[in-house]
Structure 1
Amino acid sequence: MNRDNYNQLVNKSHEISIKWRSLPAPQRGEYIRKFGEELRKQKVNLAALITEEARKIKTESLGEVQEAIDMCDFAVGLSRQLYGLTMPSERANHRLQEIWHPLGIVGCITAFNFPMAVFAWNFCLAAVCGNSIIWKPSPRSNECARGIKNAWDKISDDFSDLILILEGGNEESVALCEDNKISLISATGSTQMGKELAPIVSARLGKLLLELGGNNAAIICPSADLDLTVKGVVFSACGTTGQRCTSLRRLFVHEEIYDECVSRLNDYVNNLIIGCPSKDSSQVGPLISEESFNNMQVILDSLRSKDVEILGGERLEIEDPKEFYVRPALVLVDQIEDEMLKETFAPILYIKKFSDLKDAISMQNNVKQGLSSSIFTNDMRESELFLSESGSDCGIANVNIGTSGAEIGGAFGGEKDTGGGRESGSDAWKNYMRRVTATINYGEELPLAQGVEFDET
């Protein structure tokens, strides 16, 4: 990495942040509105970049650009609602008030699997909150980053530098994390990445927002609508070729419906159209790399050595021989295998019977990550238990939908080794601002809090 170029980039970002934060928030929101309109105009072309680099099927790529557009719409409204609380004071003629101010520069590190949407989550909120952003995309998705930057440049007038791209790998990520000028690091990626970067930011007592891995589970109860359930499970496990942080990895099925569920899931998976992601008909594309394929096969080989039954999982020799297409694997386990406790970024779904819902919830929670979870049931007591403090320990807990496919209106993120950060909707915007508590005395006396006396003697 060229250190001089890096320093110039950070200085440019700092300079533009000073100009940008002086704009009233609704005016900042107007720029984001125009950005959303530009994304609408370029939606098809931007989606094609995602398909080319991330190897996502067309409908998912279009959906990802739509998510960025939706995030713009959300942020426009938010630009008029960056509210602080007003609290009553215990002292006469005093008022307590919260005020929210921009942080400065946000460093955004994103992964290959959502090369545009995750940036949009961060940028749209950071921008309306008054910050600039330096984006370190995955080396696998630099063209996607350039596509987003070009769209911003078309509408940004004098604020083109609000988005600056820092291409590269781990060295560039570390540079951002070490830099005191970067007010917030928002990093999306593997748990291992988070564990490597977090101490660097913590060493300077910097702000950190992590969205890391997920070993996500779903529970199918006897009352579940199996037509709805099977579709939700297969999409969660096989969509994006199992390469989402919210992809379904583990499935707990009640013993009364286990055989029927496995049969229907296997039929659905075997009928998936696996092929070139640029074809309209394809439902599942290739894995991102040979390394991902090899990681998948190491896990499956380990399971086979224990005589665990596996349906699918083999490489498919279709389309381009340089691509790594696989049939999603259904792994039927009688007990919790060590492999189940690890997140494998590939379409492997472990399926296990259960008889007691509380036991299923315990098995679901018994992993290091806590990102997404779901239950399929038409029994209100079961769904309410799942959503209670005794239920799922994940940041996302769904009922009668799968683990993946979150909307932008809710806060996105999870607990434990998932990192604890929240992005996107709800009040996630507060991550991108600093809070000031102001005490205002509009009276003629100076009473002290808690009744302390300090009068002149």
Structure 2
Amino acid sequence: MKDIVMTAQTTLANLDLTSSELTGGTLAVHSPIDGSLLAEVHETPVSEMDAVFARSKAAFKAWRVVPAPRRGELIRLLGEELRAAKDDLGALVSWEAGKITSEGLGEVQEMIDICDFAVGLSRQLYGLTIASERPGHRMMETWHPAGPVGVISAFNFPVAVWSWNAAIALVCGDPVIWKPSEKSPLTAMACQKIFERALARFGDAPNNLLQTLIGGAALGGALVASEDVPVISATGSTRMGRAVAPIVAQRFGKCILELGGNNAMIVGPSADLEMAVRAIVFSAVGTAGQRCTTLRRLIVHNSIRSELVSRLKKAYAGLPIGNPLTEGTLIGPLVDEASGTAMTAALEAAKAEGGTVSGGDRVTEGVPAGVYMQPAIVEMPGQTATVKTETFAPILYVMGYDTFDDALELQNDVPQGLSSCVFTLNMREAEQFLTAAGSDCGIANVNIGPSGAEIGGAFGGEKETGGGRESGSDAWKAYMRRQTNTVNYSAELPLAQGVKFDI
């Protein structure tokens, strides 16, 4: 669509991206909305990576000694600049990731929220004071900046995940090297420009606190392998995590992995079905099923299964599918043709395993030239291999259960462990779901879907989801190193555990 390209050019200019940065490069950027060519950007040569690491190390030496509240001031200014650029950056997220307008703007709001959180955190990087068994001694722990942090982000949340990491890392004293998805480089380039606006207002920060790498997997490989980058935060597929983790472990680096999610909702017989339907529909089809926390498995008590599925099919039939920039659209495109192919293949596999598929067809009429798919509801006889495999598309597998213990078994019997939820008005079920014998996921909710984690809580999951935590709570500790200190303020030198060593 010519109007998308023309509007995008104005927005890119508003975000300080120049014609020379957007043309003549080797990486073509197409909008999933209609396939329009948005830009041809220049890729970072792999040969420059040693220089990138050297610049980040130099920035670290200066930034680590800046008082944390002063570092927080930079993030406060970044939050202000994001507020000013919210409309432009939100629009760019929609064009580059195919999100509906409210979701594009919502992603930028999430960036603003984490900046607010990080500013307060800059005055709360607390250690402990610890009682010593030795007279005249004091023990404590101190948290220090870890060093340059590498951030590898995915296309589906092209800017929010970076901000979760960057805002926290920077107040913790760490420079950031960012490798965004090659499917969404423009939003990353825009964030770099917005960050530079904040830096200009801040005044005395070292150069190269944020460096953005544009290109393919070779750049990510160099970042992961570098001993100059002690912390790697990587968001993506389980396959990517299996490749990243051993490399970082071999050099004794630290990994924050946010990988696959195969999230389930249990709907009990006492559930408020009207509320459950609204939660299910948004959680299963929002962002065209391309969220880490998308609802993919629905585990319903057999006494209400037929009624709930009927309500869902009716709701699905009225969902507006099309150009995400059009007001009223709720489902936009998949990111590319490969995603559409993967969705079709998963539905065929589910059929072969005895599933009954409703929806899931390609939409070609009344939509732009992107990959638009009907959301699918698949009634399954059990939790098959296909159900246990995450497909990044709007597919909802429905299974029944008789006892709550059976439901929990189904919920936990997948390799992934990101998010989970239960809809019930039964207090015992709700509380059991949140116990050690309940959900085994990093996120467990009651009477709310698995999507939409707020930044105040730590975000992440268990098992093949990777075990990492980002954003709120005490996730900041992953970006720092802990040091235990003992201070002897006496004139004696006693040893611990009653050891005697007189000389």
Q: Which residue of 2 aligns with 1:21?
A: 64
Structure 1 segment 129-208 matched on structure 2, within 5 A:
129-157=172-200, 158-159=204-205, 161-208=208-255
Which of residues 339, 348, 351 in structure 1 aligns to 2:398? 351
Report matched runs for 1:19-98 at 5 Å: 19-98=62-141
Equivalent residues of 2:323, 2:368 under 8 A apart? no
Distance in 1, Cα, partners of 2:330 & 2:46: 44
Q: Any runs of at least 4 consecutive aligned residues in structure 1 with deviations exceeding 6 A, and if so which?
A: none
Alignment of 1:22-421 (within 5 A): 22-157=65-200, 158-159=204-205, 161-421=208-468
Give the fraction of aligned pairs with identical amino acids, expressed as a percent: 53
The Cα shift of 1:293 comes to 0.2
Tell me how far apart the structure 1 counterparts of residues 365 and 228 of structure 2 sit (CA, whole Å). 49
Q: TM-score, normalised by structure 1?
A: 0.98
Q: Which residue in the other structure is 2:22 paired with?
A: none
Q: In structure 2, how many angstroms separate the alpha carbons of the residues matched to 1:12 and 1:278?
A: 40
* Aligned AA (1:382): E
Report the CA distance between 1:4 and its aligned residue.
Answer: 3.7
| Distance across 2 between alignment mates of 1:415 and 1:307 | 30
Equivalent-residue separation in structure 1 for 2:217 and 2:366 (angstroms)? 33
Distance 1:395 1:71 in 2: 19
CA–CA distance in 2 between the matches of 1:321 and 1:45? 22
Structure 2 distance, partners of 1:348, 1:4, is 42
The question of whether the paired residues in 2 share the 8 Å contact of 1:335 and 1:352 is answered with: yes
Q: Structure 1 residue 2: deviation in Å?
A: 3.3
Deviation at 1:337, TM superposition (A): 2.1
Contact 2:71 2:171 in 1 (8 A): yes
Q: CA deviation at 1:194?
A: 0.2
Check whether the contact 2:77–2:198 (CA below 8 A) recurs between aligned residues: yes
Q: Distance in 2 between matches of 1:172 and 1:351?
A: 40
Q: Which amino acid aligns with 1:230?
A: V
State how far apart, in whole Å, the 2-side matches of 1:245 and 1:85 are: 35
Total equivalences in the alignment? 456
Can you give the 5+ residue segments of structure 1 that lack an aligned partner in the other structure?
A: none
1:174·1:200 contact (CA, 8 Å) conserved in 2? no
- Counterpart AA for 1:245: C
Partner amino acid, structure 2, of 1:360: A
SS class of match (2:130): strand
CA distance in 1, matches of 2:167, 2:308: 41
Which amino acid is the alignment partner of residue 243 of structure 1? Q
Would you say the 8 A contact 1:53–1:144 is kept in 2? yes
Q: Is the partner of 2:187 in helix, strand or coil? A: helix
Partner residue in 2 for 1:12: 55
**Structure 1 CA distance, aligned partners of 2:125 and 2:381?**
51
Aligned partners of 1:275 and 1:318 also within 8 Å = no
The aligned amino acid for 2:119 is: V
Structure 2 counterpart of 1:14, which letter?
K
Deviation (angstroms), 1:318? 3.5
Instruction: Give, in angstroms, the shift of residue 280 of structure 1.
Output: 2.2
Partner letter of residue 134 of structure 2? R
RMSD: 1.1
Aligned to 1:301, the other structure's residue is in SS state: helix
Structure 1 residue 402: deviation in Å? 0.5
Q: CA deviation at 1:299?
A: 1.1
Distance in 1 (CA, whole Å) between partners of 2:187 and 2:127 is 36
**Distance change (3 Å), C-alpha of 1:304 and 1:108:** same
Structure 1 position 196, deviation (Å): 0.8
Q: In the alignment, is the contact (CA less than 8 A) between 1:214 and 1:370 conserved in 2?
A: yes
How far off is 1:306 after superposition? 4.4
Find the aligned partners of 2:459 and 2:372 in 1 and give their Cα distance: 30
Distance 2:186 2:308 in 1: 41
How big is the shift at 1:308? 2.2
Contact 2:322 2:367 in 1 (8 A): no
Q: Which amino acid aligns with 2:73?
A: E
Shift of 1:99: 0.5
Which string of whole-angstrom CA distances, capped at 9 and with x for unpartnered residues, describes residues 285-338 of structure 1? 010010000000011112233452111000111345531111100000122222
Q: Offset at 1:383? A: 0.3
| Counterpart AA for 1:376 | F
Cα distance in structure 2, aligned partners of 1:4 and 1:257 = 60
* Offset of residue 362 of structure 1: 0.4
Q: With the length of structure 2 as denominator, give the TM-score of the two structures.
A: 0.89
Q: 1:97 is paired with a residue of what secondary structure?
A: strand
Q: Which residue type is aligned with residue 111 of structure 2?
A: A
Tell me if 1:423 matches 2:470.
Answer: yes
**SS at structure 2 position matched to 1:262:** helix
Is contact 2:353–2:384 with CA below 8 Å preserved after alignment?
A: no
Which residue number corresponds to residue 438 of structure 1?
485
Counterpart residue identity of residue 333, structure 1? M
CA distance in 2, matches of 1:307, 1:3: 48
